[in-house]
Amino acid sequence: MAPRMTPDLAEPAAVRGFAQSYAPGEAYDEMMEPDGALRPHWRMFVSMLDDLGPEELQRRWVDAKRLIHDNGITHNVYGDASGLERPWNLDSVPLLTEQATWDKLSVDLVQRGLLLDKLLADLYGPRRVISEGLLPAELVYTSHAFLRPCRGLELPTDRWLHLYAADLVRTPDGGFSVLSDRTQAPFGAGYTLENRIVLSRVLPNVFRQCNVQRLAPFFVALRRTLSGLAPSNRDNPRVVLLTPGPYSETYFEHAYLARYLGYTLVQGNDLTVRDARVFLKTLGGLQRVDVILRRVDDDFCDPLELHGGSYLGVPGLLQAVRERNVAVANGLGSGVLQTPGFMPYLPGLCRFLLGEELRAPSVRTWWCGEADALSYVLNNLSSLVIKSAYPSRGADPTFAAELSRDALATLAESIRAQPARFVAQEQVMAATLPALIDGRVEPRRFVTRAYLVADGDSYAVMSGGLTRVTRTAESFVVSLQKGGGSKDVWVQSAGPVSPITLLTPATEKVALSRGGADLPSRVADDLYWLGRYVQRSESKVRLARAVISRSVEQGGEGGRTLAVLTAALIGSRVAAAPYACERPLLSFLFDPKYPGGLRGNVTSVYRLARLLRDRISIDAWRILQNVESDLSEFKPDADEPLARVSELLNELIVGFAAFTGLSTDSMTRGLAYRFLDMGQRVERAAQTTHLLRDTLVTTDQNESPLLEAVLEIADSSLTYRRRYLTHLEPHAVADLLLADETNPRSVAFQLATIDGHLAHLPRDSHHPHAQPDRQLMLKIRTAIQLADVESCCGPGPDGPPLADLLDDTLDQLESVSVSVAQTFFAHAKAASSLLGLGAGR
Amino acid sequence: MKLRVRHTTEYGYGETVPLCHNLVHLQPRDTDRQQCLEHELSITPAPAAIRTGDDFFGNPVAWFSLQEPHRGLSITALSTVELSADAQTTPNSEAWELAVHCDVMPADAAAREFAFQSPYIPVSPKLADYARPSFPRGRPLAEAAVDLMRRINREFKFVSGVTTVGTPVLDVLRDRRGVCQDFSHLMIACMRSLGLAARYVSGYLLTRPPPGKPRLVGADASHAWVSLWVPGHGWLDLDPTNDCLPGPSHVTVGWARDYGDIGPVRGVIVGGHQHSLKVAVDVIPVDEEIDADS
């Protein structure tokens, strides 16, 4: 459908289609004038949506939801042990802003950023703002966010605040006020990018016609600034993104940003401090880290000097910063600026520190530690919003207007008891914007977060931002935790916008890099186990499929095959009668608590894949995500529980195969690939060996149906037929699946491949002979190569000698796995504090 | 008077530990009443480097790391301190109310840093109530503080082992027992609850008293006492454990808001959980040491 190139701006206020039923209240509305006419900068957008028509729009919103699901855009919900992840809630109507409005706002926010930066430097330096009486001593000295060990840190540039975000509300006159300053490690820039990607795909023409300013220049500036912080190694600094880990609310964003910016995603455990320098623990040894972009709160960054109980950080980090061997952004200690109690003092601080009037106004705020403010607050309590005076994690503000008389009295009482702990803010969040709620356009209140990054001696402002809307029309709270939606912010330029991408910044030349010995040990560990769990799940599914097809089709003489296979799958001999194994089989497949069951294995796959979000491709992630949801959402029929299970298992097998194929095709043959593949190979060798052990060893005569099933499970039926036609012999099956190095499904083939990987792992050159894993591998391979498979399958004094060969193979495979872990993954040791004795004890 | 301080801290781990980071407050700082003449830190196994500097409160700090596998750690700080020989006396001071949230002079304002709650020291009406009998209206500040110190000394029992570093001050107030650190935290908490500025002092006591004087309580470990900001006079040290104004038997290491800021040894080990800890403190006059050696 061709969009209208020039919307009819002269169209009268009569609004149809998209905005027809939209009825904002009295307050300022982003889209509509008080008289119900569309604001000029919305007309083009609305008219293009109307051209699409409601059905098409609805279809595109569904597309958007699918894109969000496919890209795995999520955030974590605290206290939700089962689900944990929630899909990101993107409202497909962006917030439209005119360039001129955004430009003025940007100028104002840059000044505020500079002010906060200077304030931070003063608080951790001479503290003149306190001695000169511009900021109450109590607000600083009683704040847990004021980190005394950060006093006097010398920073590589005289900048403390590299990233700053301001939460903004619209005032009734259409201006902006700052509701809160985010200086710790502001989240959302990555979600903003994702919102943009989704929206520009769903509404490509609209996006183009609206001349939307790009987000990428912000990230280019961020990269330039972070590189510039490196105390040494300026040309090619190693920048890492420090995350608290997958349980953090915005872990998705950490992984996403790390990949987008090209930084290594690390947890505290991946880093170590030696000689007051920070290193990344990699397979290739310790690698120097120059800059840390942190998403861990500053007080959790160093258990030695800061919060003693925290192991999200890196012991000794502060000393490394102190000696200027590493730069941290934001500077450690920056969280104190989030103190809501500072807000009333910013105008005075601005005059004192910058010699200027503060341009970006704050929402009116009173700190109750001042007598005048306290009496104002108590007299006007019911119209105010009450917050902690200090930075708080996750505590909601109290909207006094919503309280009962009793609750109001209680609140007044607690303020009177400890006034210094509270601030009150004017209730200003009234402006509305159109939000798409269940297919209808409705007004919602909102907060917009604007992002700034230090750039030279000023700040660069992102042309866009993250708008969060309230869940209901009445609510004033925007919170991911409470399930409000988010919106992209479109800053509309007057003319066409030239595209820019982060991959080819014009001024930077990318240093060539290959290999990847810098793979963090933890990541190698996770990749190895991802490989193992994927393969283990696949093997179980193949076996289960064979069991189910036989339990449905066969009775009578096929009963023995079914019994043997069922025993191989769930470990206990179930009566051979069809359907007798139905219940244990179902719980093996679908019960998350079944020990070693399929569901548990797939959950492990999913968990590891999440941890490795920045390492595996979007497509690979999507495949595993679908496998997980296919399995967890499957509901067996009540009457015929096994009926559709085969179909499901077929889908899962295709999924696993697709994942393996994709990683084989798209991962460079670096260490990441080697560890993933090694995990798969070790597991496939083990599973095949188990299968042979559970089937062939119990076969004392030629049991064609069983042999056929074994070949089918091991995906080698075709090869067998081609070789031996239809003549099924145990020793021929054993040879093909165990010893034949040309069969990619055989144990021998896996061992050869693993051996190849082991030969390419980085080794300590001081001890060239200490490679127990390779010695073990040589032993297993030799044993299998030397074995006379035909006589092994014959009778021996204590059963067929094949049993011993298989048992030895399993034992030694396990030893190889342990040895690899000890050699390459020995990083997981946790830190703990030494006891202090105290005085007089 | 010259004192020699030997403070040994020994950690034994249950297993080999590859990495250990430490921060120590073991060097006595210079004050109006004392000068640290010599200070030496001996660490076994030897660290690659010892880095020194000042903390937020101006106390000397040393940082070091053990970067080779080790099974234990021993830290010995040997310091020689010259102390002023005269005892402190209760200074003249104005009514205590005038010192509440006082910021008349820049020094008064600076001292307010120590007037608020801190991680180990809460403020509460209960604590203010306990202090109140010592602080009747108009009583000179120093006199009131000395009275509070005396009351704590009499009404609280010195018992080792019933409290830990983490015992809350309000529990100490309820149970009326503890050690010097508890009494110091309690007394500071009482005074801060009234709006006064008071800080925590970490230090040592002379191990054996001069002839004819009783042995002070808490002499075989590191000691702690209290310092109160007296406008117009300065900081006044008070030792509630011994009900005295610290004099030539008290060696100051440093001061801070509470124990958490200035614990003698902080450390983080990577790997290894179980560990044992042994601390020995010895403070003797330098002449006596020479006698002992000869």
- Residue A839: list chain B partners with CB under 8 A: 179-181, 184, 202, 218, 221-224, 259
The pLDDT score that the predictor gives to residue B235 is 96
The pLDDT score that the predictor gives to residue A572 is 60
Predicted confidence band of residue A218 (pLDDT cuts 50, 70, 90)? very high
Q: Is the pLDDT of residue A683 over 70?
A: yes
Residue A676 and residue A319: Cα distance in Å, rounded?
36
Predicted confidence band of residue A406 (pLDDT cuts 50, 70, 90)? very high
Quick one: closest CA in A to B62, which residue? A319
Report CB contact under 8 Å: B56, A272. Answer: no
The pLDDT score that the predictor gives to residue A3 is 39
Peptide bond into B45 cis (omega under 30): yes
Quick one: closest CA in A to B59, which residue? A149
The pairing of beta strand A422-426 with beta strand B275-285: unpaired
- Of A84-98, A423-437, B133-147, the least confident: A84-98
The pLDDT score that the predictor gives to residue A723 is 85
Give the per-residue SS3 of A115-129.
HHHHHHHHHCCCCHH
- Specify the higher pLDDT residue, B161 or A799: B161
- Of A59-68, A179-188, A252-261, B213-222, the least confident: B213-222
Quick one: closest CA in A to B48, which residue? A275
Q: Which two tokens stand for residue A481?
A: 């935790």
Distance linking the first and last C-alpha atoms of chain A: 81
> Best interface-test mutation with A: which of B225, B268, B273 has the largest number of A CBs within 10 A?
B268
- How do residues A548-588 score in pLDDT, each as one tens digit? 888 766 555 567 788 888 888 887 655 445 456 678 888 88
| Stretch A511-530: mean pLDDT | 75
pTM: 0.85
**Chain B nearest C-alpha distance from A675 (Å):** 25
The pLDDT score that the predictor gives to residue B218 is 66
Closest CB to B180: pick one of A304, A834, A839: A839
Residue B138 and residue B133: Cα distance in Å, rounded?
12
**Chain B nearest C-alpha distance from A372 (Å):** 17
Q: Is the pLDDT of residue B292 over 50?
A: no
Predicted confidence band of residue A617 (pLDDT cuts 50, 70, 90)? confident
- How do residues A715-731 score in pLDDT, each as one tens digit? 999 889 888 877 888 88
Report CB contact under 8 Å: A151, B268. Answer: no
Q: Is the pLDDT of residue B17 over 90?
A: no
| Stretch B83-88: mean pLDDT | 86
- Of A274-278, A663-667, B114-118, B151-155, the least confident: A663-667
Residue A431 and residue A453: Cα distance in Å, rounded?
27
> Best interface-test mutation with A: which of B16, B21, B270 has the largest number of A CBs within 10 A?
B21
Q: Position B7: which residue type?
A: H
Report CB contact under 8 Å: A841, B223. Answer: no
The pLDDT score that the predictor gives to residue A665 is 81
Residue A685 and residue A683: Cα distance in Å, rounded?
5
Q: Which two tokens stand for residue B225?
A: 């006492």
- How do residues B135-144 score in pLDDT, each as one tens digit? 999 999 999 9
In 3D space, the residue among B188, B185, B192, B150 whose CA is nearest the CA of residue B263 turns out to be B185
Give me the interface pTM, i.e. the ipTM: 0.93
| Stretch A677-693: mean pLDDT | 94
- How do residues A767-813 score in pLDDT, each as one tens digit? 556 688 888 999 999 999 998 888 888 777 777 788 889 999 999 99
The pLDDT score that the predictor gives to residue A595 is 84
| Backbone dihedral angles phi then psi of residue A297, each to the nearest 5 degrees | -60, 145
Q: Which two tokens stand for residue A570?
A: 């769930």
- Asked if A544 and A598 count as a contact pair (C-beta separation under 8 A), the reply is yes
- Residue B63: list chain A partners with CB under 8 A: 276, 319
Q: Any CB–CB contact under 8 A between A319 and chain B?
A: yes
Q: Is the pLDDT of residue A117 over 80?
A: yes
In 3D space, the residue among A429, A432, A430 whose CA is nearest the CA of residue A29 turns out to be A432
- Specify the higher pLDDT residue, B294 or B133: B133
Report CB contact under 8 Å: B55, A148. Answer: yes
Give the CA distances from residue B272 to residues A830, B8, B269, in Å, rounded to whole numbers and listed in that order: 8, 22, 7
| Stretch B65-89: mean pLDDT | 91
Mean pLDDT of chain A: 86
The pLDDT score that the predictor gives to residue A676 is 94
- Specify the higher pLDDT residue, B261 or A554: B261
Q: Is the pLDDT of residue A5 over 70?
A: no
- Specify the higher pLDDT residue, B211 or A653: A653
- Residue A313: list chain B partners with CB under 8 A: none
The pLDDT score that the predictor gives to residue B6 is 94
- Specify the higher pLDDT residue, A436 or B44: B44
- How do residues A356-370 score in pLDDT, each as one tens digit? 999 999 999 999 999
Quick one: closest CA in B to A127, which residue? B110
The DSSP annotation for A541-593 comes to HHHHHHHHHHHHH--GGGHHHHHHHHHHHHSS---SSTTTTHHHHHHHHH-TT
Give the side-chain half-sphere CA count within 13 A for A737: 32
- Which residues are CB-contacts of A601 (< 8 A; sequence separation ≥ 6)? A533, A536, A537, A540
The pLDDT score that the predictor gives to residue A385 is 94
- Specify the higher pLDDT residue, A136 or A516: A136
Q: Is the pLDDT of residue A162 over 50?
A: yes
Residue A793 and residue A728: Cα distance in Å, rounded?
14
The pLDDT score that the predictor gives to residue A1 is 38
- Residue A322: list chain B partners with CB under 8 A: 53
Q: What percent of chain A has pLDDT over 70?
A: 89
Predicted confidence band of residue B8 (pLDDT cuts 50, 70, 90)? very high
Neighbours of A661 (CB within 10 A): 12
The pLDDT score that the predictor gives to residue A108 is 97
Residue B41 and residue B62: Cα distance in Å, rounded?
9
Q: Is the pLDDT of residue A414 over 60?
A: yes
